[in-house]
Structure 1
Amino acid sequence: MLTSYVALLLLQAAPDAASPAPPPPVCDSDGHAGFNFWLGEWDVYPTGGDTKVANSRIERKHTICAVIENWMPLRGQGGTSLNHFDAERGQWYQKWVGSSPGAVEFVGGVTDGKMVLTGNWPQPGAPQTLVRMTYTTNEDGSVRQFGESSTDHGVSWQSAFDFTYRSKEDAPK
């Protein structure tokens, strides 16, 4: 009896040979291409400096609907960002998870040829910090990630970090 029941369940779960599988979601619109310039294997340096601080791998996953960064600093703990474009809202979303508890969520999009994402970065015992990251393609193909922070809800901004991602093929050895 159990064998017949298992066989029936398997038949119900089996795909119908007459109907083709639905196509995977296609994320190849102009909006979805907003972060294409950041894809690759990178050596990361402070902007204007030649002392490497990290490796970073940025790749498309899941039928090109997600952009994932694996941040691998030479010192300290790493992290990962999951990025996706919401076509209905016309915005990019990033969720950053690092080595400390919690996550940071950013939202934004392409403005004047630059990807700009903003989110609240929780810091225990500190005032709420708004972080704005601007990603720019440089003439040499490198990518600048410039971070600013604000503790007054965006009225004023201070430089927080400034990195240049150089393609592993072009980076100094």
Structure 2
Amino acid sequence: MKTGRLCGVLFLLLVAMVQPGYAKDSKKPIIPCSHPVFRLFDFWVGEWLVYHRDSGKLAGYDRVSRTLAGCALQQSWISLDDHFSSPKVPFRMNGKSLTAFDGAQWVQFWVDNQAGSQVLKGGPEDKSFILYSETPVGGYDYRMSWVPNKDGTLLNRSERRKEGTGEWETVFDFIYHRNLNQRRFEDEEEDQSDN
């Protein structure tokens, strides 16, 4: 019984010594990702209806939220057309990404249900936010750009070119509109503590 109490006391002391969020010499809380650099991509946060810019047709839903105490952005994409469909795959493309600032640049890891995955890196450039593929995918280099508009919409374009050379060609060109219905994604758990 005494050993159990002693272990309990030692455990509480250990927890008190390593409690996250406090500096060693201070009682002031430290919020690791509170620096303004971690907010540079926050214009992408939201529930979005995404349309093809050329046709105006609805392409999909995109949900982007802050997660991990504001240290990352988590994206959930649902395609509503066959723009990204792979031959002979009986379902449309859905995907997720996690994007964070690593101290020097922004890094995004994308994965989808069509066996696609990609690492993109970059950050703000002029009035855009641009990420480039870290390594070629299928013999192509990729470039993704996001541009916020004054009316609250967001332009999102993906381009590719043959590895290391050539002209950029458009993969998709989307315009994002806020989803005022706040459609919920069925496969996601809601974690209010990270928002």
Question: What TM-score do you get using the length of structure 2 for normalisation?
Answer: 0.73
Matched, 1:112 2:126: yes
Give CA deviations for 1:112-151 in whole Å, capped at 9, x if unaligned.
021100104523xxxx111101100122111111111011
Amino acid corresponding to residue 130 of structure 2 in structure 1:
V
Corresponding residue of 2:70: 64
Counterpart pick for 1:162 among 150, 164, 173: 173
Matched, 1:32 2:43: no
Counterpart pick for 2:110 among 96, 100, 106: 96
Rate the CA distance shift 1:104–1:20 in 2: closer, same or farther, 3 A: closer
Spell out the pairing of 1:67-86 with structure 2 (5 A cutoff).
67-75=73-81, 76-86=92-102
Give how far 1:5 is off.
6.9
> What's the secondary structure of 1:156's corresponding residue?
coil
101-110 vs 4-13, greater mean Cα deviation: 4-13
Corresponding residue of 2:86: none
Give how far 1:100 is off.
2.7
Counterpart pick for 1:22 among 4, 20, 23: 20
Report if aligned partners of 2:136, 2:163 keep a CA contact under 8 Å in 1.
Answer: no
Give CA deviations for 1:67-104 in whole Å, capped at 9, x if unaligned.
011001124120001000112x2x10000011133520
Counterpart pick for 1:135 among 134, 139, 146: 146
Amino acid corresponding to residue 117 of structure 1 in structure 2:
L
In structure 2, how many angstroms separate the alpha carbons of the residues matched to 1:144 and 1:42? 12
CA RMSD of aligned residues (A): 2.5
**Percent of aligned pairs with the same residue?**
27
In structure 1, how many angstroms separate the alpha carbons of the residues matched to 2:97 and 2:67? 12
In structure 2, how many angstroms separate the alpha carbons of the residues matched to 1:18 and 1:152? 52
Give how far 1:18 is off.
5.8
In structure 2, how many angstroms separate the alpha carbons of the residues matched to 1:168 and 1:49? 19
Spell out the pairing of 1:36-55 with structure 2 (5 A cutoff).
36-55=42-61
> What's the secondary structure of 2:42's corresponding residue?
helix
Higher-strand-fraction structure: 1
Report if aligned partners of 2:120, 2:131 keep a CA contact under 8 Å in 1.
Answer: yes
Question: What TM-score do you get using the length of structure 1 for normalisation?
Answer: 0.81
In structure 2, how many angstroms separate the alpha carbons of the residues matched to 1:6 and 1:153? 64
48-57 vs 61-70, greater mean Cα deviation: 48-57
Unpaired runs of 5+ in structure 2?
22-29, 82-91, 182-195
